[in-house]
Chain A
Amino acid sequence: MDDLTREFILESREGLDRMERCLTDLETRPGDTELLAEIFRSVHTIKGTTGFLGFSRLEALSHAGENLLGLLRDGKLAANPDIISGLLALMDVLRGVLQSIETTGAEGESQQADSALIARLEELQRGDASLAVAEPVLAAVEAAPSHAARPRKPRGTGKHISRRPRGDHQGTPPPNDPGEAGPPIAVEAAPREAEPQPRPAPAAVSSTSARPATQAQPEAPAAATPGAADSTLRVDVELLNRMMNLVGELVLTRNQILQATSTDANFALLGRRLDMVTADLRESVMKARMQPVSHLFSRFPRLVRDLALALDKRVHLEMEGQETELDKSLLEAIRDPLTHSIRNAIDHGIECPDVRVAQGKPAEGLVRLRACHEGSHVIVEVHDDGAGMSIERIRQKAVERQLVSPQRAEQMNEREILQLIFLPGFSTAAAVTSVSGRGVGMDVVRTNVEKIGGKVEVDSHAGKGTILRLRIPLTLAIIPALIVHSRGQNFAVPQASLTELVHMSAGETDNRIEWLENAALYRLRGRLLPLVFLDRLLQQPPRERTAPCDIAILNADGRRFGLVVDGLADPEEIVVKPLAAVLREIGYYAGATILGNGEMALILNPGSIAQNANVTLTSEADDGLDENRAGRQDFLLVETGNRRAALPLETVVRIERIPRSRIERAGSRPVLRFEGQLLPLDDAASELIDASDDPEAQTTVVVCRDGDRQVGMTVSQVLDVTGGKQLEQAGTGGVAGGITLLHERVTGIVGLSGIPSLECVAETPAVPDFPSAEETQ
């Protein structure tokens, strides 16, 4: 394909995109001359160039479109849904032909469909009864039915008045001059669903006569266009990709330099400078790949329009934050999920107009599309003011489709229930429509968004509407990751799915990893977590059972599991390199990367690992845990003497094992020198009293913060860190102070303020305020 044709295709596509936007806008503002002029220009340009390039099919099609648009532009026809549908159809065919030219170099054959479309467009030019073209002149020109002229008869002179502008028009510049947009449509009598407020026809007629005053106005948009073209540049995506690769390479080199040790002070300085420059460069190259979400959003007005028409609903689309920018590849990646979500909102969300009115809502439903930045993410929201989701119905459906057991479904709270819509095979649509309801809905949305490291959240209130929130990372190319080792090899685990790390020393692995037949489990805060051994998963030579290991607790798409690895290295910002297809097929790897030390690492894909290991969704339960936490506090559970006591965890500064010889006495009170300070020590465990004389014997001291001061407390043993529930004192309705429920046992909370300060140490005998309500058992 020659450059001219390529340029033509690019230009025409842009023109058609513009046309699409304008056409859908035209629905709400049918009389807007600027819009009509813009649409006309797009088609006219295509027609002009195709004749020159010899694409006869395109020429015939665009010619038919131009004729119709000419009438619209000159106000001889009123835009109505039929005409707009016809023009949209034309646009689709034009796109198809452009596509064909791009791929095959030829226009392709479908002459019959073409002539049908051309006939349809000609039909529309003539207009029919429903168009109700009121201008008698136009009616005459178009050989319109005589009844259209009848209502005008009483005015008599109208005929002459309106004839004049038309005569002027014929003598004026060529039709592609946007300034010649002429008076707008006289009357839009055809009833339209999406019309915000039906305008009385007579008013429109009279405003037409006064039209010449605004003739100069349409010049403005034409003048504004070149400005935008000057400040932007069309750049080959391939080139950008290459630049991105090079920047990635630079980042790697920088990482290596930063890690290299050198005694030269200058070297460190240069290294830091390189670091800064690299970071800046990376950012600007990444920016070059960014595109405003309006590129994506612009297609939705059409989608919403078509869907609303097909479903007999009235929907108004609002778009916000169109200037928000996102990496081009990510924009592509969320196209389908977003389209799907909007379909859902209109099909399942927005009710039919009569239902809405009956519920006291405006007949026209609202779908709001919003994009904004939030930290290193872009949030894209699809909000509808429709029916919302019925929790009961979801629960019922999920049980019906055997996605959860009836017992489990009963226990789930609202949030957990809402998460069920993301399960494969879930659909509540009563009937399968052409739009949705086939059960391949939200799980696809979720899968696609998670593929690019994003997240999907849903919030819905029955009767009020639904918000679907897509959380998309700003860029794909560079991600923070934790490097782990398994059998001498490096693997990178994306930080996005990493929730916490657990280390196990040599002796511990045997005890702390529990086995249920072949399934390894780890007890994380009382809950069993399935474990996946990376070495076994990858069929590496197995490690010894008792060897020390680390467990990376991962949350992949709501599936929680522990990945057992040999060891951990530093977290690093890694540049994701794609893998060859033969390696992608393995499934466990999301790519490869080169680390700061020059070694390579495979990037693990937690989602597919979880899937392969049959880890099921557990996130609902987790969310539940978080909710429970509201009224909870974490405590350090200790044993003092033979009693249990709880220390609020936020007060604990340090737990130290120290030789008794380090504990000194001020008067009768034990004190401890700690980080240059002297702490009053509470010998709660009586460790110091029955101490043997052995100065090497050790004791455990918990250093706590009490307001501005720090105090120490001896304990026999630290038992656990656990969440405690506050207890209500019977009858009072107030929270019982000083005690809490830990591991289902009432446990006293140590009152630190009771430990006397050092000033009064000398005089006051030690009477620590130690809890009396230790345990009931």
Chain B
Amino acid sequence: MSDVHASPTQEVCSVQVGDTLYGVPIAHVLEILGKPATQPVPLAPYFVGGLVHYRGEVLTAVSLRRLLGMEPAKTPEDVLVFENPDGLFGLFVDSVGEVLHVSQAEHEPNPATLEPRRQQLFAGAWKLKDRLLVSLEPERLDPMRLASAFPA
């Protein structure tokens, strides 16, 4: 990735959910909470995974698994902390991996064949050497936005 001439590169935090590898631009990630204690919220919208405690705040955390209609995770999950205009929120993922450098040239938009819900959630993908890294943008995962975009 030291090839500066190719195209601008970006640091991306890789996370695993199910069999898919996702990437979130590191600039958007405020903090990574490793397997924090979580509090479920009865009657919450389906995509809310629960509450997590972060520096004196109680954050609402979105579950990517629930959002994608997957089975609940069998082991405790990690949480990424993001900031949106109204405050902070979290995102439950199976596990957080290493930071990858990806270049703009490797990025491609969502394929037209992707199902509509995922079309809205994903921001294309980067072509890694051996697999795809699906691009996630925090603003698409904002609980408020999800509530209006994907009502139960």
Contacts and interface: CB of A to CB of B under 8 A. Distances in A.
Contact of B40 (A245, A246, A489, A577): A489
A583 B41 contact: yes
B39 to A, nearest CB: 4
A286 to B, nearest CB: 16
B101 to A, nearest CB: 33
Contact of B57 (A245, A583, A586): A245
A245 B56 contact: yes
Of A490, A577, A588, the most chain B CB neighbours within 10 A belong to A577
Interface in B86-107: 86-87, 89
B45 A599 contact: no
B42 interface: yes
A579 to B, nearest CB: 7
Contacts of A602: 39, 41, 51
B60 interface: yes
B44 interface: yes
B54 to A, nearest CB: 10
Contacts, number: 71
A513 interface: no
B55 interface: yes
Given A489-B42, A600-B37, A602-B39, A580 B86 contact: yes
Contact of A580 (B42, B56, B143): B143
Contacts of A591: 58
Nearest to A491: B42
Interface in A580-602: 580-583, 585-586, 588-589, 591-594, 598-602
B44 to A, nearest CB: 6
A587 to B, nearest CB: 9
A582 B42 contact: no
Nearest to B59: A580
Contacts of B44: 582-583, 586
A31 interface: no
A248 interface: yes
A252 B58 CA distance: 13
Main secondary structure of the interface of B (DSSP, over half): mixed
B65 to A, nearest CB: 18
A391 B146 CA distance: 52
Interface in A460-511: 489-490
Interface in B80-136: 86-87, 89
B144 interface: yes
Contacts of A600: 37-39, 51, 53, 58
Contacts of A577: 56-58
B70 interface: no
Nearest to B148: A582
A589 to B, nearest CB: 8
B43 interface: yes
A581 to B, nearest CB: 6
Interface string A231-272: 000000000000001101100100000000000000000000
Nearest to A489: B40
B43 A588 contact: yes
B56 A249 contact: yes
Size category of the binding interface on chain B: 20 to 34
A580 B37 contact: no
Nearest to A599: B37
A363 to B, nearest CB: 54
B56 A246 contact: yes
A589 B51 CA distance: 13
Contacts of B41: 583, 586, 589, 602
A489 B143 CA distance: 23
Nearest to B89: A580
Contacts of A588: 43
Given A249-B55, A600-B51, A580 B43 contact: no
B39, B86, B147, most chain A CB atoms within 10 A? B39
Contacts of A56: none
A540 B42 contact: yes
Contacts of A601: 39
A538 interface: yes
Nearest to A601: B39
A392 to B, nearest CB: 45
A539 interface: yes
A602 B60 CA distance: 12
Most buried by A among B43, B48, B55, B56: B56
Contacts of A539: 42-43
B141 to A, nearest CB: 12
Interface string A45-62: 000000000000000000
B56 A582 contact: no
Contacts of A578: 58
A582 B57 contact: no
Contacts of B57: 245, 577
Interface in A540-595: 540, 577-583, 585-586, 588-589, 591-594
Given A249-B55, A579-B58, A582-B45, A592 B39 contact: yes
Contacts of B51: 592, 600, 602
Contacts of B56: 245-246, 248-249, 252, 577
Contacts of B146: 582
Given A583-B41, A598-B37, A593 B58 contact: yes
A580 B39 CA distance: 14
Contact of B48 (A252, A540, A583, A598): A583
Nearest to B147: A582
A589 B42 CA distance: 10
Q: Kindly name the residue among A579, A593, A601 whose own CB sees the greatest number of chain B CB atoms within 10 A.
A: A579
A345 B60 CA distance: 44
Contacts of B53: 594, 598, 600
Interface string A617-628: 000000000000
Interface of B: 37-45, 48, 51, 53, 55-60, 86-87, 89, 143-144, 146-147
26 contacts: A245-B56, A249-B55, A249-B56, A489-B40, A538-B42, A538-B43, A577-B56, A579-B60, A580-B89, A580-B143, A580-B144, A581-B144, A582-B60, A582-B144, A583-B41, A583-B44, A583-B60, A586-B44, A591-B58, A592-B51, A594-B58, A598-B37, A600-B37, A600-B39, A600-B53, A602-B51
The 8 closest A-B pairs by CB, nearest first: A249-B56, A538-B42, A600-B39, A580-B60, A592-B58, A577-B58, A582-B143, A582-B147
Given A580-B60, A598-B53, A599-B37, 4 more contacts: A539-B43, A581-B144, A583-B48, A600-B51
